[in-house]
Amino acid sequence: MKLSNKFIQIFLAGLLTSPIAYASENIVYCSEGSPESFNPQKILSGTGRNATSLTIYNRLLEFEPGTTNVIPSLATSWDISGDKTEYTFKLRKGVQFHQTAYFKPTREFNADDVIFSINRQLDLKHPYHLVGGGAYQYFQGMGMHNLIESVEKVDNYTVKIKLNKPEAPFISNMAMPFMSILSEEYAAQLANLGRKENIDTLPVGTGPFKYRRYLKDSVIRYNAHASYWQGKTAIDNLIFSITPDASVRYQKLKKGECDIAVYPSPADIASIQKNEKLELRELDGLNIGYLAMNTEKPPFNNLSVRRAIAHALDKQSYINAIYLGKAKPAINPYPSTVWSYHEDIDTYEYNPQKARQLLKEAGFDKGFKTTLWTLPVSRPFNPNGRKMGELMQQDLAKVGIEVELVTYDWGTYLDKVKRGEHDIVQLGWTGDNGDPDNFLYTLFSCDSVDRGSNNSRYCQKSFDSLIKTARSESDRKKREALYQKALQIFSHDVPVIPIAHAKVYRALRNTVSGYIMDPFDVDHFYNLEVINK
């Protein structure tokens, strides 16, 4: 009897316990999913980047928070050889790895760690290469396995990376999550213990937070790294509360169960803005939703037809209806957060009359019939392909172009587009490294027609030579000038019609300070502080 009384007491206590106020040194971050691994070399998702590369690890170079600029981090400086194929990095001294329950470092960060981290991904015979499956999708996806020839230790604090060919975006790639620096000493210790796979589940890095515990799909706990090389963070503990549903994240935020919530639902945005205790932040995402015309097929090989279509589409109406206003109309193939963005180009305002005129010039007085492929999946850069297709169909009908809407399942869609079977197709791109090359070369170079994502199959010699020159040029000013020229040609030729850059949102409690919105759609935790309001 006594036992059951006790149980009832506890049960009631549980019922009536009011939420305990969080200690001021904790930040609770409501994330939307679980990381696929704790090794950023094996991660593709934004969720995973936040949980690893921005908390536990550093790279030789980093993106300056809130921008796509590359700044020194574990490397203090770098030199590029005359032929632009050798990069010599000077490493920072006095950088400590995390001391955790499972690893006690005996030395500071040095060249061995850099070599280990790169060679694990590069060298197929590296003892750690096959640990956890041997797939380094981002490293390979960015072409690093073909680009890097070797990584050499010059001395303890100098590393030389040799490339097979000059390639300027290499520097931006060095700041990407998959180039995070792991501890070679820890790897050696695990190899001795026969537990190599732990390197991806019990992480050790040099970042501002050290890993404490992960309860699958539930909570990730980090403690501040007391001897962090930039100084200890203002907060003591960082906690990821994994909450997949956006409405629930919002309720948790309102109730104070989390301090920052990712990806608020568009339906909640107005209500967040009205709530005095909350703050909504927004920024143009590093993405582009576009409509590509197959320039290899008539009538889209005709410039006037492409320009006519560009004038026929009312982008603003799509932004209102499809993105619910949460996007910005696009004129460049990348948003203004990417350097070399160019406003002084042909922008093709909505003008059906002009469109009809251009069609007449092209010899299509009575218009023509074509197909438009609508995106079968929802993506931030195009949340509802079908609905957008219907609006486009109406717009194009007004200028005499009769459009049949077509779609396939996602795999088939990509496959058929790759083979060039389409007329007009909706697609999009999300940037990886903030370099203009990542958009222009991937989406519009002649090389990418057959292997890559050049879905308009646009191959124009002067444009192609400009972006290729810019690719091998390391002077940023020169590159910027080259890209701006390339954008002029692009906007003149209009192989794709840039539609919109979807915005990214975060909701935070107003007790959080130091939060920086980032175009890569990731979160920075180092500068966070809790303030009393």
CA dist 116 and 139 (Å) reads: 14
Is residue 254 part of the contact set for other proteins (CB under 8 A)?
yes
Specify the stretch interacting with other proteins by CB under 8 A; choose among 58-66, 298-306, 447-455, 522-530: 447-455
* Binder of other proteins out of 56, 163, 175, 242 (CB under 8 A): 242
CB of 222 to other proteins, least distance (A): 11
Task: Give 190 or 396: the residue with its C-beta nearer to other proteins.
Answer: 190
- Rule CB under 8 A: choose which of 64, 79, 155, 245 binds other proteins: 245
Tell whether residue 94 is a contact of other proteins (CB under 8 A): no
Is 248 a binding residue for other proteins by CB under 8 A? The answer is yes
Check residue 20 and report its DSSP letter. Answer: P
Least separation in angstroms between residue 449's CB and other proteins is 11
Assess 102 for contact with other proteins (CB under 8 A).
Answer: no
3-class DSSP assignment, residue 30: strand
Using the rule CB under 8 A, which residue among 23, 226, 267, 397 binds other proteins? Answer: 23
- Give the per-residue contact string, 114-133, with other proteins (x = CB under 8 A; - = no): ------------------xx
Position among 25, 36, 112, 346 found at the interface with other proteins (CB under 8 A): 36
> Looking at beta carbons only, is 35 or 65 nearer to other proteins?
35
Q: In the beta sheet, which residues pair with residue 241?
A: 30, 219
Angle CA(62)–CA(63)–CA(66) in degrees, nearest 5?
Answer: 145
The closest of 333, 318, 273 to 454, measured between CA atoms, is: 333
Contact between 445 and other proteins by CB under 8 A: the answer reads no
Nearest by Cα to 324 from 266, 371, 400, 368: 266
Query: Which of 129, 212, 386, 398: binder of other proteins (CB under 8 A)?
Result: 212
Report how far residue 204's alpha carbon sits from residue 186's, in angstroms, rounded to the nearest whole number.
7
Options 26, 88, 265, 474; binder of other proteins; rule CB under 8 A: 26
Residue 47 contacts residue 258 (beta carbons within 8 Å): no
> In angstroms, what CA-CA distances link 416 with 159, 371, 412, 428?
44, 14, 6, 16
The one among 55, 121, 448, 456 contacting other proteins by CB under 8 A: 448
Binding of residue 149 to other proteins (CB under 8 A): no
Binder of other proteins out of 84, 126, 196, 221 (CB under 8 A): 221
CB of 380 to other proteins, least distance (A): 12
Which window, 12-20, 156-164, 267-275, 345-353, contacts other proteins (CB under 8 A)? 12-20
Among 59, 92, 98, 252, binds other proteins (CB under 8 A): 252
Find all residues with CB under 8 Å of 165, minimum gap 6, and list them.
85, 147, 472
Q: Which three-class secondary structure string do you get for 361-405?
A: HCCCCCCEEEEEECCCCCECCECCHHHHHHHHHHHHHHCCEEEEE
What is the nearest approach in angstroms of other proteins to the Cβ of residue 285? Answer: 15
For position 137 contacting other proteins by CB under 8 A, the verdict is yes
Q: Does 478 bind other proteins (CB under 8 A)?
A: no
Contact 395, 312 (CB under 8 A): yes
Residue 33 binds other proteins (CB under 8 A) = yes
Interior/surface letters 124-155, b for 16+ CB within 10 angstroms, e for the rest: eebebbebbeeebebbeebebeebbeebeeee
Number of residues that bind other proteins (CB under 8 A): 62
Q: For residues 396-415, which are near other proteins according to CB under 8 A?
A: 409-412, 414-415
Specify whether the CB–CB gap between 431 and 517 falls below 8 A: no
Least distance CB 168 / other proteins (angstroms): 20
Using CA atoms, how far residue 224 sits from 208, 299, 525, in Å, is: 6, 60, 10
3-state secondary structure 38-97: CCHHHCCCHHHHHHCCCCCCCCCEEECCCCCCEEECCEEEEEECCCCCEEEEEECCCCCC
Does 20 sit near other proteins (CB under 8 A)?
Answer: yes
Q: What is the footprint of other proteins within residues 161-200 (CB under 8 A)?
A: 200
Q: Contact between 3 and other proteins (CB under 8 A)?
A: no
Asked if 219 interacts with other proteins (CB under 8 A), we say: yes
Q: How far apart are CA 28 and CA 249, in angstroms?
A: 11
Give CA–CA dist 219/242, Å, rounded.
Answer: 6
Strands (E), 96-255: 148-155, 158-163, 209-215, 219-224, 237-242
- Check binding of 360 to other proteins (CB under 8 A): no
**How many angstroms separate the CA atoms of 389 and 221, rounded?**
44
- Contact residues toward other proteins (CB under 8 A) are 10-11, 13-20, 22-23, 26, 28, 33-34, 36-37, 42, 132-133, 135, 137, 140-141, 200-201, 212-213, 215-219, 221, 239, 241-245, 247-248, 251-252, 254-255, 257, 409-412, 414-415, 418, 427, 429, 442, 448, 451-453
